[in-house]
Every structure is written in structure tokens, then in C-alpha cells.
Amino acid sequence: MKKKYMFGIIIILILGALFVPKILSKEDKKVKFKVLESSEIPEKIKEILPKYLSEERAITCRLGDEIYVLVTRGEKQTGGYTVNVDKIIMEKKNKDDFDLVVYAKFKDPDANDIVTQSFSYPFTIVKTNLDKMPESIRLEVDYVK
């Protein structure tokens, strides 16, 4: 009889360890995206992009049924600066609303790198699989060497 109770308690603990974290989580999930090459950037985005290049930020843009995320680094004194989107996480607020967190990696040129001696405005644009705009967007930056 004792063995049956112990076995039952062990099973309950194992099931609890598997399912409780999923139930308690905010249902955050990764957003699939594709980094666009310059030739793939829609004309409408090319038109609005200059307004945001001087700031370090992430913004969303809807064109038709497609949702894009633009990540900019602001004005830099030289070339050699890059920005890469590492991942995008959707944080559920309630049944219908969500926020986006964009995780980006910023790389600065090394002191010994030969770079262009003119102002640059590093950015990247990704096309997401989202069908709805987020309530807000937050940029989390990781500086890499």
C-alpha cells in the first residue's frame, strides 16, 4: 500500500514539473522572420526609412498583409557598424494583444579596422510571419566584438 502511494506521489511530481511551467508562462513565443536583402525591401519602406535612420530603435510597419520590423542604430561617424536581428519574441498581454521584444546584436568596428570615413546609418529590416500588429515593441541590444 505504501509503495502505491509513493509511486502516485512520484508520478504527480513528474507531471507537475512538466506542465506547471507551461501553464505559468506568459505564453511567450518566437516569431519567425526573414532578413531582407536591399533588393527585397518594399518601395514604401524605402520611402519612410530615412525618418528613422538617425535613431536607435525598433519599429513595426504593416504593408498589406505583411508585417515588417525595422531595427536602426542611429547615425555613426564612420562605416563598419552592423546590426543583426537575433530573435523576436511575442509576449502575450491577453487573448488578443501582444508586445514584441526584438533581440539585436550590434557590432562596432575594431580600432584597427579600415572603414569608410563618412557617416553611416546601420539598419536591418526583417519580414515576419505575424498577421497582427503588436501593442508595443521593445529593443534589447547585445554588443558583440
Whole-angstrom Cα distance, residue 105 to residue 87? 10
Average pLDDT over residues 124-142: 96
**Whole-number pLDDT of residue 1:** 65
15-29, 65-79, 103-117: range with lowest mean pLDDT? 15-29
**DSSP letters for the chain:** -HHHHHHHHHHHHHHHHHHHHHHHS---EEPPEEEPPGGGS-HHHHHHGGGTTTSEEEEEEEETTEEEEEEEE--BSSS--EEEEEEEEEEE-SSS-EEEEEEEEEEPPPTT----SS-B--EEEEEE--SS--S-EEEEEEEE-
pTM: 0.78
What digits encode the pLDDT tens for the residues 103-114?
Answer: 999 999 988 888
Q: What is the pLDDT of residue 30?
A: 94
- The whole-number pLDDT of residue 26 equals 53
